[in-house]
Structure 1
Amino acid sequence: MLPPLLLVTDRHGTDRPLAETVRAAVAGGARFVWLRDRDLDAELRRALARDLIAILAPVGGRLIVGGDPDLASEVGAQGVHLPGSAGIDGVRALREKLGAAALIGFSAHSVAEIAAAEAAGADYATLSPIFPSASKPGYGPALGLEALRAAGSVSRLPVFALGGIDAGNARACREAGAAGVAVMGGVMRSLDPRSETARFVAAIA
């Protein structure tokens, strides 16, 4: 079973080194981290991935690398998260490449994509945007909690609500059927990421 909080990294959103923010979030209870930061130089991203694995390892946490299976394999990450632009065929091809043991996530933006991702071999998906979100302005109107309910009716794939998630609405996402919530700005922009993460963990426990 996957941890119900998926922390999404954004070094532009934090006022400290990203590894420090993640370390604080892990101290607050984060156990599942998606290394996004796709614009980072390859060498720096590799070094950061290794740092995050070292932070997560003592608590049994998992690191997922966004869109780069070669990097994930090189650093020993637990899996890969594919963007929606990779398409469902991308999920299928990645499963064939990595085998059954790897964890594969997919960024879905509709209920239909959730069902397709499950059929293609994904282990989980994010569904976004659930609520209006400044960090995801280009993905159309908010889908709302009803989309989470609908996803649960067409698929057994674990779905993480993404987009506009805060400690106040996270529980509602779980009650609507989400396996968990994916959070970026709510923790990355916090002045106290440890305490903010703990609030999320408590809200979705």
Structure 2
Amino acid sequence: MIILLSPEQLVAHESVVVNGLFEKGLSLFHIRKQQFTDMEMVAYVGNIDGGYRKQLVLHSHFHLANELGIERLHVREEDRKQNKQHAFMDGFTLSTSVHAITTFNSLDAVWKYAFLSPVFPSISKKGYGITHTVLEDLRRRNNPHVRLVGLGGVNEQNCRQVFDAGADDIAVLGAVWNNTRPIQAFNSMYKTING
């Protein structure tokens, strides 16, 4: 499964790209637009084909989830550490982020999946993952209850390595959004993984 994260800042024709990616097999789309007003978030989600609503994941604006028909929420690591997920445990599928395999291994089954990053040096965050990556740590995974999603620097050339190291799924950002042909970049990765 390939999960795509939105860029934090708007990209030209973003919703057109997202709809095109869903048509090409995108599994889940994480919406990272913390700076949006409520009206902007409603408009943004409204531009994504309604048939994909169950594949959208909010990183913010949780109070709009029911109104928007979104059933998936991503709780940031710092919010998880403060147990803020308890307000959303009923009726939502939850995911989170971690940066160490030991943290991943300690997650309980309330989490459907967790991003573990960076598996490679980041494409979108310059300098992130240059001195330390977690790819080799994936082999120390011992949590059978939570799906492990490799994030950080994943692209068409290295995506297979992430699965081979023990990840269940991958998440991408820069490999798609920093490409002048985002749909083709995604499609190449999809074919690499799925044949």
Kept in 2: contact 1:180–1:204 (CA 8 A): no
> Measured at CA, do residues 185 and 39 of structure 1 come closer, stay the same or move farther in structure 2, by a change above 3 Å?
same
Q: Residue 107 of structure 2 aligns to a residue in which SS?
A: helix
Kept in 1: contact 2:97–2:114 (CA 8 A): yes
Kept in 1: contact 2:75–2:85 (CA 8 A): no
Could you list the per-position Cα deviations for residues 101-132 of structure 1 after superposition, in whole angstroms to 9, with x for gaps in the alignment? 4210101111122133335x111100111111
Larger RCO, structure (CA 8 Å, separation 6 or more): 1
Kept in 2: contact 1:64–1:72 (CA 8 A): no
User: Would you say 1:114 and 2:109 are equivalent positions?
Assistant: no
Q: Residue 123 of structure 1 aligns to a residue in which SS?
A: strand
Q: Which residue of 2 aligns with 1:86?
A: 79
Measure how far apart 1:88 and its partner are. 3.7
User: Would you say 1:178 and 2:171 are equivalent positions?
Assistant: no
Measure how far apart 1:53 and its partner are. 5.2
Query: Match of 1:5, as an amino acid?
Result: I
Q: Which residue of 1 aligns with 2:177?
A: 188
> Measured at CA, do residues 138 and 92 of structure 1 come closer, stay the same or move farther in structure 2, by a change above 3 Å?
farther
Q: Which residue of 2 aligns with 1:34?
A: 30
Query: Match of 1:144, as an amino acid?
Result: V
> Measured at CA, do residues 136 and 11 of structure 1 come closer, stay the same or move farther in structure 2, by a change above 3 Å?
closer
> What are the within-5 Å matches in structure 2 for residues 1-205 of structure 1?
4-10=1-7, 12=9, 14=11, 16-52=12-48, 54=50, 56=52, 62-90=55-83, 92-94=85-87, 97-99=88-90, 101-119=91-109, 121-136=110-125, 141-151=131-141, 153-205=142-194
TM-score normalised by L of structure 1? 0.83
RMSD between aligned alpha carbons? 2.3
Could you list the per-position Cα deviations for residues 151-193 of structure 1 after superposition, in whole angstroms to 9, with x for gaps in the alignment? 3x24441011111010111111011111111111111122222
Measure how far apart 1:136 and its partner are. 3.7
> Measured at CA, do residues 126 and 65 of structure 1 come closer, stay the same or move farther in structure 2, by a change above 3 Å?
same
Q: Residue 197 of structure 1 aligns to a residue in which SS?
A: helix
CA distance in 2, matches of 1:52, 1:90: 31
Q: Residue 81 of structure 1 aligns to a residue in which SS?
A: strand
> Measured at CA, do residues 23 and 182 of structure 1 come closer, stay the same or move farther in structure 2, by a change above 3 Å?
same
Q: Residue 47 of structure 2 aligns to a residue in which SS?
A: helix
CA distance in 2, matches of 1:111, 1:6: 20
TM-score normalised by L of structure 2? 0.86
Number of residue pairs matched by the alignment:
193
CA distance in 2, matches of 1:139, 1:116: 24
CA distance in 2, matches of 1:93, 1:139: 30
Kept in 1: contact 2:93–2:112 (CA 8 A): yes
Query: Match of 1:79, as an amino acid?
Result: R
